[in-house]
Amino acid sequence: MALPALEVALEPRNRILLVEDDARLAQLVKEYLEASDAFDVAIEGRGDTAVERIVAEQPDLVILDVMLPGLDGLSVCRRVRDRFPGPILMLTALGDEVDEVVGLELGADDYVAKPASPRKVLARVRSLLRRAPSREDLPAGGAEAVITLGELVVDPGRRVAGLAGRDLDLTTAEFDLLWLLARHAGETIEREAIYRELRGIEWDGLDRSIDLRVLRLRKKLGDDAAHPRFIKSVRGVGYLLARQAP
């Protein structure tokens, strides 16, 4: 007697757009990411056409090379950032701090220096696509609690933050940082811990990506870095989100 076929619920695969003009490298990264059975990767070789695809297709994540024909990666990032809320991972030249800093200031969420191994790219992609907070951060019953700190409201369920009744236009990386700080409001979080949580790597003492993310987040909160109401710097240690904004 034949047994009925069992239906297996498959986890949805994340859609990634890889913008890279080096065909050999692009194919290598594509095959490596898709081998994990968690991603579908499309390749785009030009920067000018990448802008249209990113906005139209709204992939779960974009991997964006800096040096591209048609339009460079930094310009692509600038043009799509206000129309694409998902994470952007930049591929920069080895040791080119200028590209890294400018990319982060334009709204990129992370970067990998080339020549980038597919394994390192996969680690960064997985880190950026971690959407939900860890189980120990959830209240009883499994529901995600909205955190209210004065005029600031952080809703992890909808991944939305609001200030004084208006929604903030945050990137994925900016929301992740705000959510991390909000979960530990009133406590100083060491810079090393922030790097491990948000980037999945150890801080090397030189990387400025988290500091730049804080600067962007402060700007959107209307915070003054010299006299911040919300995100306070603890010299030599890390950052703290005030429990109540004055």
Terminal Cα-to-Cα distance of the chain (whole angstroms): 73
Of 104, 128, 152, the last residue of a domain is 128
Residue 6 lies in a domain: no
> Number of structural domains, the chain?
2
Query: 81 by DSSP, 3-state: which?
Result: coil
Q: Are residues 187 and 232 in the same domain?
A: yes
pLDDT for the residue numbered 135: 39
Residue 5 lies in a domain: no
Instruction: Give mean pLDDT, residues 76-97.
Output: 83
Instruction: Give the residue among 111, 69, 68 at the shortest CA–CA distance from 87.
Output: 111
What pLDDT band is residue 123 in, cutting at 50, 70 and 90?
Answer: confident
Tens digits of per-residue pLDDT, 190-204? 988 888 887 766 766
Burial class from Cβ neighbours inside 10 Å (0-12, 13-18, 19+) for residue 151 reads: middle
Range with lowest mean pLDDT among 124-128, 154-158, 206-210:
206-210
Tokens standing for residue 43:
């390749």
Q: Are residues 123 and 147 in the same domain?
A: no
Instruction: Give mean pLDDT, residues 108-125.
Output: 85
Average pLDDT, the chain: 82
| One-letter identity of residue 1 | M
Of 128, 154, 181, the last residue of a domain is 128
Instruction: Give the residue among 47, 42, 48, 49 at the shortest CA–CA distance from 26.
Output: 42
Q: Are residues 158 and 188 in the same domain?
A: yes
Residue scoring higher pLDDT (43 or 229):
43
Helices then strands, each counted (H, E), the chain: 8, 12
Residue 57 lies in a domain: yes
Instruction: Give mean pLDDT, residues 72-86.
Output: 90
Place of tokens 């969420």: 109
Q: Are residues 154 and 204 in the same domain?
A: yes
Residue 219 has pLDDT above 50, yes or no: yes
Q: For the domain that residue 68 is a member of, what is the CATH number?
A: 3.40.50.2300
pLDDT for the residue numbered 17: 97
What range defines the domain where residue 20 resides?
Answer: 14-128
Of 100, 128, 156, the last residue of a domain is 128
Residue 27 lies in a domain: yes
Sheet holding 188-190, edge to edge: 188-190, 238-241, 231-234
Q: For the domain that residue 210 is a member of, what is the CATH number?
A: 1.10.10.10
User: Do 77 and 105 form a contact (C-beta atoms < 8 A)?
Assistant: no
C-alpha to C-alpha distance for 128 and 110, rounded to whole angstroms: 8
pLDDT for the residue numbered 244: 65
Tens digits of per-residue pLDDT, 151-169? 899 988 778 899 988 988 8
